A and B are shown apart, each in its own frame.
Chain A
Amino acid sequence: MFTYIIRRLIGAVAMLVVISMVTFGIFFVVPQWAGATPEAMASRYVGRAATPETVHLVAERLGFNDPVVVQYGRFVKGLVTGAEYDYGAGVEQCPAPCFGYSFISGQPVWPDLVDRLPVTFSLALGAALIWVLAGVSVGVLSALRRGSFFDRLSMGTALAGVSLPIFFTGMISLVIFSYGLGWTPPGGAWTDLSENPAQWAYNLLLPWITLAFLFAAGYARLTRAGMLETMGEDYIRTARAKGLRERDVVVKHGLRAALTPILTLFGIDFGLLIGGAVLTETTYTLPGLGQFAILAIRNQDLPQVMGVVLIAACFVVVASLIVDLLYAWVDPRVRLS
């Protein structure tokens, strides 16, 4: 088990290295294929009508004149040993892991990521709680009352939930519940949990529900299918033959088995989400990692892109590792080696 985890972690690090190289490559190599010079790249980070000298100075400062390999090496070195940043009036130390400084704002990337993580985590956690509870219970009820009005209604809603994008549902809910009825706060509302837990939850309520709606739909469908399958299994008949109450048969025997694929899906979904709930954060203007990622990409801000990509990849890797470990715990037939 221990060696399994170690091996997985080594694999994860290797994957992160590959991801960082690919990201770096897309950023530098692709424009170069299209014929971009270091100055052409630097001209993204200057004001309009900048003089050639300005562009040249910025290309020098951002290191675009060095070969890509050297630039990548500098990035990795910054991660491992830290880096220095010349802000004109002085030099600032950026301790490891130093993801560098934004090409646009000159702000160090790492503190920004750390700062934004609680927002995304709060969003993902609350939404996950809602969608798992709602999705799984609706799925179970639908399976047990297969073909009923409830089943058809909930599966129809689930289909809508899966197909409607968040920027649509989110905007509609804001217009109705925040600006129309005034029940929920307007977009952009965020309070830290440590500051005021009630306000925290109130502000996140609408984003939670919107995000959960999207996922709950998928989970409901998956749970329903899983329950239909497991409730036909022989061990369910055995459980009934023992005289177990139907509720326990459904929950302890049926659902327990149906939950295994849901757990896998959940691990990956949750890992992806804490890497940035891009659409939800953008729609609701939540200052989380997803919003950060979008802005970084829109601004072609490489250090920020690298930072958020690597952080997101880390979460996915860790989540899938945890899922695998949980899987072995949930299903004793799985042995990790």
Chain B
Amino acid sequence: MSFLDVKDLKIHFPTDDGVVRAVDGLSFSLERGETLGIVGESGSGKSVTSLGLLGLHKGGRAKISGEIWLDGEELVGATAEHVRTLRGRKMAMIFQDPLSSMHPYYTVGHQIIEAYRIHHQVSKAVAKKHAVDLLGRVGIPEPDRRVDSYPHEFSGGMRQRAMIAMALSCDPELLIADEPTTALDVTVQAQILDLMRDLQREFNSALIIITHDLGVVAELSNDILVMYGGKCVEYGSTDDIFYRPEHPYTWGLLGSMPRLDREPTERLLPIKGSPPSLINVPSGCAFHPRCPYAELTQGKSSTEVPALAESGGGHLVRCHLGKAERRRLWETEIKPVLETQ
């Protein structure tokens, strides 16, 4: 069994308009020291997945099923109080917008100290020293002074470093970063990603990076999971996803990757339409209304849900198109276009 094993995870929210199937049968696993990228557009269910792992999915109304095994412990059936004691200590999270994610009324130091003292019975002075150390380690200059600053007194990048310091305060073995660089300038993004890679090596923790941007996970991840409509549509090693992608949606994501030498809004292979509503997921393959190759399935795509099938070497794809067909399309239609750029 792996360090983290997620099996058939489902998180459904009953609402007045119907059941929102935010996560609908997701499975993956991860070892210590490894990095998994979860990629998808907003509304694909990737953020709910991360919150579900921490037991933070909203309130008592959400229905969660499946299994989450963390270091040999099952979390879905565990008590809320037990999961709470694991949060911050065993598993921690870095959020997207560090300004809104840090409490505006408390100093950065206070928030790190609080995180540390939840799980460690130490004096405030000891915790503060620890906080200063952490701030130094995440590259904040003059940490002994900045520890008493408020979040709004930090720059965006500094805040994210502080956020990372807070997440690392109890040496978590599983670190989940939800869009850790989205709110930051492009140059700062690179620094933060470098920092996370360095720290992961240092702490040997398992890292999940959640993002809508394949570029973010390209260099960090060992494996990548592409989500669409609450389901995994393609899973594979980073090489699989970047050099041998087989799902039309992944192709779309690759085509939307912002690059430094290109106008960020310009898209080469745009994905038509918008992500599906999680209440009324399209029948059959959830992606079929937007898929340029849907007609090649002779109508199967709109009636039958495709299975997540092995495509060789642990590479999984959920698509009605035959493996040969997918390879052909990639080699002849997609890859050349991407490479001309």
Q: Touching in the complex, A and B, CB below 8 A? A: yes
Known: A237-B56, A240-B56, A241-B88. A331 touches B118 (CB 8 A): no
B105 x A332 contact (CB < 8 A):
yes
Which residue of chain B has its CB nearest to the CB of A244? Answer: B118
List 20 other contacts, CB 8 Å, given A233-B100, A241-B87, A331-B104: A234-B95, A234-B97, A234-B100, A234-B101, A235-B100, A235-B104, A237-B51, A237-B56, A238-B95, A238-B166, A241-B56, A241-B93, A242-B114, A242-B115, A242-B118, A244-B114, A257-B104, A331-B105, A332-B107, A333-B150
Provide the B261-285 mask, 1 if CB < 8 A to any CB of A, else 0.
Answer: 0000000000000000000000000
Known: A330-B105, A333-B152. A241 touches B100 (CB 8 A): no
B105 x A240 contact (CB < 8 A):
no
Q: In the assembly, what is the distance between CA of A242 and CA of B89, in Å?
A: 8
B124 within 8 A of partner (CB)? no
For A332, the chain B residues whose CB sits under 8 A away are 104-105, 107, 150, 152
Provide the B81-115 mask, 1 if CB < 8 A to any CB of A, else 0.
Answer: 00011111100110101001111110100000011
For B103, the chain A residues whose CB sits under 8 A away are 235, 238-239, 253, 256-257
B105 x A257 contact (CB < 8 A):
yes
Q: Could you give 19 example pairs across A and B, Cβ below 8 Å?
A: A233-B100, A234-B97, A234-B101, A237-B51, A237-B101, A238-B102, A238-B166, A240-B56, A241-B92, A242-B88, A242-B115, A243-B84, A243-B86, A243-B119, A246-B84, A253-B103, A257-B103, A257-B105, A330-B105
A245 within 8 A of partner (CB)? yes
Q: In the assembly, what is the distance between CA of A244 and CA of B103, in Å?
A: 14
B105 x A238 contact (CB < 8 A):
no
For the complex formed, measure the closest distance between the CB of B96 and the CB atoms of chain A, giving whole angstroms.
8
B150 x A243 contact (CB < 8 A):
no
B224 within 8 A of partner (CB)? no
Where the two chains meet, the residues of A that have a C-beta atom closer than 8 Å to any C-beta of B are 233-235, 237-246, 253, 256-257, 330-333
B87 x A238 contact (CB < 8 A):
no
For A333, the chain B residues whose CB sits under 8 A away are 104, 150, 152
User: How many A-B contacts at CB < 8 Å in the complex?
Assistant: 69
For the complex formed, measure the closest distance between the CB of B114 and the CB atoms of chain A, giving whole angstroms.
7
Provide the B114-157 mask, 1 if CB < 8 A to any CB of A, else 0.
Answer: 11001100000000000000000000000000000010100000
For the complex formed, measure the closest distance between the CB of A74 and the CB atoms of chain B, giving whole angstroms.
51
Known: A243-B119, A332-B152. A235 touches B114 (CB 8 A): no
For B118, the chain A residues whose CB sits under 8 A away are 242-245
B321 within 8 A of partner (CB)? no
A245 x B100 contact (CB < 8 A):
no
Closest 8 CB pairs of A and B: A243-B88, A243-B87, A234-B100, A242-B88, A242-B115, A234-B101, A235-B103, A241-B93
For the complex formed, measure the closest distance between the CB of B143 and the CB atoms of chain A, giving whole angstroms.
19
B48 within 8 A of partner (CB)? no
Count of interface residues, chain B, beta-carbon cutoff 8 Å: 27
For B150, the chain A residues whose CB sits under 8 A away are 332-333
For B101, the chain A residues whose CB sits under 8 A away are 234-235, 237-238
For A257, the chain B residues whose CB sits under 8 A away are 103-105
B54 within 8 A of partner (CB)? yes
Query: Which of A233, A256, A257, A332 gathers most chain B CB within 10 Å?
Result: A332
Known: A235-B100, A235-B103. A241 touches B54 (CB 8 A): yes
For B114, the chain A residues whose CB sits under 8 A away are 242, 244
Which residue of chain B has its CB nearest to the CB of A237? Answer: B56
Q: In the assembly, what is the distance between CA of A72 and CA of B89, in Å?
A: 71
Which residue of chain B has its CB nearest to the CB of A240? Answer: B56
A242 x B166 contact (CB < 8 A):
yes
For A243, the chain B residues whose CB sits under 8 A away are 84-89, 115, 118-119
A242 x B87 contact (CB < 8 A):
yes
For B97, the chain A residues whose CB sits under 8 A away are 234
Q: In the assembly, what is the distance between CA of A244 and CA of B54, in Å?
A: 13
For the complex formed, measure the closest distance between the CB of A233 and the CB atoms of chain B, giving whole angstroms.
7
For the complex formed, measure the closest distance between the CB of B29 and the CB atoms of chain A, giving whole angstroms.
22
Q: In the assembly, what is the distance between CA of A243 and CA of B56, in Å?
A: 10
Chain B 49-98 interface residues, beta-carbon cutoff 8 Å to A: 51, 54, 56, 84-89, 92-93, 95, 97
Q: In the assembly, what is the distance between CA of A106 and CA of B101, in Å?
A: 64
For A242, the chain B residues whose CB sits under 8 A away are 87-88, 92, 114-115, 118, 166
Q: In the assembly, what is the distance between CA of A195 and CA of B180, in Å?
A: 64
Which residue of chain B has its CB nearest to the CB of A259? Answer: B105
Query: Which of A237, A245, A256 gathers most chain B CB within 10 Å?
Result: A237
For B115, the chain A residues whose CB sits under 8 A away are 242-243
Q: In the assembly, what is the distance between CA of A245 and CA of B80, in Å?
A: 10
Q: In the assembly, what is the distance between CA of A256 and CA of B104, in Å?
A: 10
Q: In the assembly, what is the distance between CA of A331 and CA of B107, in Å?
A: 11
Q: In the assembly, what is the distance between CA of A305 and CA of B105, in Å?
A: 43
Q: In the assembly, what is the distance between CA of A70 and CA of B51, in Å?
A: 74
Q: In the assembly, what is the distance between CA of A129 and CA of B10, in Å?
A: 48
Which residue of chain A has its CB nearest to the CB of B56? Answer: A240
Q: In the assembly, what is the distance between CA of A237 and CA of B51, in Å?
A: 9
For the complex formed, measure the closest distance between the CB of B164 and the CB atoms of chain A, giving whole angstroms.
12
Q: In the assembly, what is the distance between CA of A235 and CA of B86, in Å?
A: 19
Which of A235, A244, A246 interacts with B102 by CB under 8 Å? A235
Q: In the assembly, what is the distance between CA of A257 and CA of B103, in Å?
A: 9
Q: In the assembly, what is the distance between CA of A246 and CA of B56, in Å?
A: 12
Q: In the assembly, what is the distance between CA of A246 and CA of B80, in Å?
A: 10
B102 x A240 contact (CB < 8 A):
no
